[in-house]
A and B are shown apart, each in its own frame.
Chain A
Amino acid sequence: MTALATQPIARTIDARGSFCPGPLMELIRGIRESTPGTVLAVWSTDSGSKTDIPKWVEKAGHRLIGVFDRDGYDEIIVEKTH
């Protein structure tokens, strides 16, 4: 259970073990395949994802719900807004 139980995660992208820019590219593919309003979570073990993905989300105009430290990986939750 994440801290955002009220925000249902429609799709989780497990990019653990993938290196930059793998997790970002996986998220972009997920965003392309989703409809506006969809919440996606990316799991990444690449330390760069914590900064790269929020920067991309800002530029692309989507909504960053949060970046969370999990057990050995980071979870980045994003809502596709348009």
Chain B
Amino acid sequence: MQRIVILGGGVGGTLTANLLVKKLRRRIDRGEISIIVVDSTGQHVYQPGFMYIAMGGERAANLQRPERSLLDRRVQLVIGDVVAVDEAAHSVTLGDTRTLPYEYLVLATGSRIVPEEIEHFDQEAHHFYTAEAAEKLRAALDQFSGGRIVIGIAGMPYKCPPAPLEVAFLIEAELRQRGIRQSSTIDFCSPIGRAFTIESVSEMAAPILERKGIELHTFFNVEAIDPEHKVVMSLEGEELPYDLLILVPPHKGQQFLIDSGLAPAPGGWLPTDRATLQVGGRPNVFALGDATDLPLSKAGSTAHFEAPVVTERIVAAIEDREVDHRRGDYLGKVMCFFEIGDGKGTLLQFDYEHPPKPPKPNQLWHLGKIVFNKTYWHTVPKGRV
């Protein structure tokens, strides 16, 4: 029996499990292979939908389904918290002391938000990285009747890089529609020297920010929040007063990856080969999605395009054959929609060698994102697209 243990029931873990079943069905049915997905909650959450809770029109209940319902029946689902990976013993230990031995390990453990790393973040700053936080932000926007809105990024890397810009554009449009744009200011704070990490996207976004009257502050790395005076301060010495503060919280990888010696502190991102997706040169340990240290968007789309690579590499090893490099090398492909407000969007499609060339924003790409969000459950996790 060869055991494939996949940690994480998000996009990457679920899709990898289902793709492995497609390739190894007969061996699984003969009892030669087992595939186990370990997830801490047993619930699969469609995180890109959180932003739409905050921007109105989406409900948290629509963004969650039982992980079991998305997995092929041949995949075993174990619900529990992973506390350690024992590389010497080739096993994973869960919080309830169960151990799961493996021959192949897939780390699809995502990222976690750590707002507590910035004092007063929880009391003062809104965000949209959990359903609950997005609901609170929606309520705050409903109560907002004009004033200063500051939107920023309180740590890099973070999930869904376009999201803060999208939120800025969508809020600007909402304020205009509600007739309170003239009595409001919007500041957008970027930790780097431009609006977005990728230069071509920044060149697209900067004129839109200007046209919408959103002031861009570059090199603004959030250092502190003064709740008494309602001011957010940057490491670079800038201070911005706010009435409504929206910050992307700092993100990290999972603590047990650091504790197990798989990922370096303090970030906890797994050192991952950009082509093979192997972790630290280990032939039987793979990472995908947010958990890696690859210089790519932490987004479901990244995991979506990485899952076939991990699948091919594990299947090739099990079948004792050479890797088919057409399917088994990751070229850095990522594709995501980008909202710019007023019912328009654009598309970011890129890989390691080709930066995105976003098409002129239009209604089609906005609708594309809406359709993708609605059809996600039937397509991505099951490997149909």
Q: Which residues of A pack against B, CB within 8 Å?
A: 18-22, 24-25, 28, 31-32, 52, 55-56, 59-61
Contacts and interface: CB of A to CB of B under 8 A. Distances in A.
Given A60-B219, A60-B237, A61-B237, A52 B193 contact: yes
Contacts of B197: 20-21
A61 B295 CA distance: 28
Chain A interface, DSSP helix/strand/loop, else mixed: helix
A52 B192 CA distance: 8
A59 B237 CA distance: 8
Interface string B209-251: 0000000001101000000000000011100000000000000
A24 B197 CA distance: 11
Contacts of B236: 56, 59-61
A25 B191 contact: yes
A33 B295 CA distance: 23
Nearest to A22: B295
B237 A56 contact: no
Interface string B37-73: 0000000000000000000000000000000000000
B294 to A, nearest CB: 9
A55 B193 CA distance: 8
A28 B236 CA distance: 10
Interface in B261-313: 295
A32 B295 CA distance: 22
13 contacts: A18-B295, A19-B295, A20-B192, A21-B191, A52-B193, A55-B193, A55-B219, A56-B192, A56-B236, A59-B219, A59-B236, A60-B219, A60-B237
A60 to B, nearest CB: 4
A60 B29 CA distance: 61
Chain B contact residues: helix, strand, loop or mixed: loop
Given A18-B295, A21-B192, A52-B192, 16 more contacts: A20-B192, A20-B197, A21-B156, A25-B156, A25-B191, A28-B191, A28-B235, A31-B235, A55-B219, A56-B193, A56-B219, A56-B236, A59-B219, A60-B219, A60-B236, A61-B237
Contacts of A18: 295
A18 B197 CA distance: 13
Contacts of B191: 21, 25, 28
Interface in B189-215: 191-193, 197
Contacts of B237: 60-61
Nearest to A18: B295
Contacts of B156: 21, 25
Contacts of B295: 18-19, 22
B95 to A, nearest CB: 30
A50 to B, nearest CB: 12
A18 B237 CA distance: 27
B177 to A, nearest CB: 34
B274 to A, nearest CB: 9
A76 to B, nearest CB: 14
Contacts of B218: 59
A61 B218 CA distance: 14
A57 B142 CA distance: 40
A56 to B, nearest CB: 5
Contacts of B235: 28, 31-32, 60
Contacts of B221: 28
Nearest to A33: B266
Interface string B138-161: 000000000000000000100000
